[in-house]
Amino acid sequence: MTERYDVVVVGGGLLGCLTAWMAARDGAHVLLVDKDQVNQHASGQNAGSLHFQLEYRMVEAGEEAARVAAEAMPLHLDAAGMWARMEDEIGEPLGVRQTGGLMVAENSGQVGMLEFKAELERSWGLDVRTLDRAELDDVAPYLSRDIVAANLSALEGKADARIAAPAVGRAAIAAGATVRARSRLVGAHRVPTGWEVTLRETDRAGGERARTVRTAAVVLAAGVWTTELGRVFGAELPTVPLALTMTVTSKIPKFIPHLVQHAGARLSLKQSLDNTVLIGGGWPARLMRDANGVPAFDRKHQLIPQSIAGNARAAVNTVPALERVPAVRSWVGATTVAPDQLPLVGAVRGAPGVFVATGGSAFTLGPSFARVLTDLIAGRSPDIDLAPYDPARFAEGSVS
């Protein structure tokens, strides 16, 4: 007999696990499928920064671009509150610490940008203070003397990307969701009650079988595979894929309590609960492509030595003590942004009952994305206006 669900969530990253958990708690009969393993991709490979200030990539293109990016602030504020409650609600550690985040500046141009940014963020309700050098001596004595000011958001911090999605996946199962790994959604067609989707399942020995299930709703929580998966539902969901570099150091006694970002360089760093320092911030890696130049997301992307070195230089320039801390491993993860830096969140035009969320810092914003997706699945209107994040905003003829 054909299995029937209220919602099939496609993707077992943090977003898919959160959506399955929340929808199951909401009373929905949920199936989550992942073509690989839970947390195998971006959600398990990222820097774990919970950043609610605008990031460097959002301010480097100037004030107008920053104003557009700031339209995601309602999602940032919502997510900040949800992360603070999440470990209690899930009932397992997720490595969440919201002990504050600094975006640092080392010249007057960057300070001017910080002042503009802080005012913009405050206009959206995010509490951000600009600290001068004397205040930084107290708050963050580990920073280089070249740092002259910083924006501080007390809400920022980190979670542990290695454990967050698996813990949420277990909570989803406890709430009644079914979770299937090695199950790839390969086809979909409309039926009177919603969608019939075809899943290609692989067993441990490599054998394959097809399974068909019926569902009223589908959530695309597929990260870099979103554009490809959208086509299965006849939808154009443009995303820009990025392969990014991460590095982790050996352990060093705790000395960095903050998330640290830079206003004029690609840099994010933080000290994890295991005392290692995670260094990232958007340094490119080589995204693998097929013979036609199409991104091949199932292949292993490659590190670029210059990116590892540039990222390390930015880290040491900002936190000089890191010069004496050996790096132990670098790796690549792939993620998506949208052309305007705002996420894609909402109903998929032309595919009734199909919803999507991706783009940008979907680890930080995952709880907020999942909450609004859960409302959409249940037919409720989310309390956050999703119009700026309309997945159809890049379609021909749409007015933005």
- Beta strands 3-10 and 30-33 are parallel
d(CA 196, CA 190): 6
Contact call for residue 371 and ligand FAD (CB under 6 A): no
Options 114-122, 247-255, 302-310, 355-363: segment touching ligand FAD (CB under 6 A): 355-363
Q: Is there binding between residue 319 and ligand FAD (CB under 6 A)?
A: no
* Both structure tokens of 258: 């903050």
Residue span 181-220 as binding mask against ligand FAD, x where in contact by CB under 6 A, dash where not: ---xx-----------------------------------
Question: Closest-CB residue for ligand FAD?
Answer: 13
Q: Stretches 7-15, 22-30, 98-106, 206-214: which one binds ligand FAD (CB under 6 A)?
A: 7-15
Q: Does 267 bind ligand FAD (CB under 6 A)?
A: no
- Residue 35 interacts with ligand FAD (CB under 6 A)? yes
Q: Would you give the binding string for ligand FAD spanning residues 47-86, x where CB under 6 A is met?
A: xxx-------------------------------------
Min. distance of Cβ 145 from ligand FAD in angstroms? 27
User: Which string of DSSP letters, residue by residue, matches 83-119?
Assistant: HHHHHHHHTS----B---EEEEE-SHHHHHHHHHHHH
Sheet holding 268-271, edge to edge: 128-132, 149-153, 101-105, 259-262, 268-271, 277-280, 240-249, 327-337
**Closer to ligand FAD by Cβ: residue 135 or 160:** 160
168 near ligand FAD, rule: CB under 6 A: no
Contacts of 205 (CB under 8 A, 6+ apart): none
Residue from the set 31, 90, 218, 221 that interacts with ligand FAD by CB under 6 A: 221
Question: Considering only residues 264, 280, 310, 367, which one is a binding residue for ligand FAD as defined by CB under 6 A?
Answer: 280
Question: Cβ 222 to ligand FAD, closest distance in Å?
Answer: 4
The rounded distance, in Å, linking the Cα atoms of 9 and 185 is: 10
For residue 225, the minimal CB distance to ligand FAD (Å) is 3
The H or E element containing residue 69 is helix 63-69
In the complex with ligand FAD, which residue's Cβ is closer, 111 or 330?
Answer: 330
Record the tokens describing residue 9, joined without a space.
């969530």
3-state class of 251 per DSSP? coil
CA distances 280 to 48, 49, 69, 268, 349, Å, are 10, 10, 21, 5, 35
Contact between 333 and ligand FAD by CB under 6 A: the answer reads: yes
Told to check if 307 binds ligand FAD by CB under 6 A, we report: no
For residues 30 and 6, the answer to whether their CB atoms sit within 8 Å is yes
Give the interface size with ligand FAD as a residue count (CB under 6 A): 38
Whose CA is closest to 334, among 15, 11, 42, 35?
42
What is each CA distance from 120 to 32, 51, 60, 68, 130, in whole angstroms?
38, 16, 15, 11, 13
Residues that bind ligand FAD (CB under 6 A): 10-16, 33-36, 40-43, 45-49, 184-185, 221-223, 225, 229, 244, 246, 280, 333-335, 358, 361-364
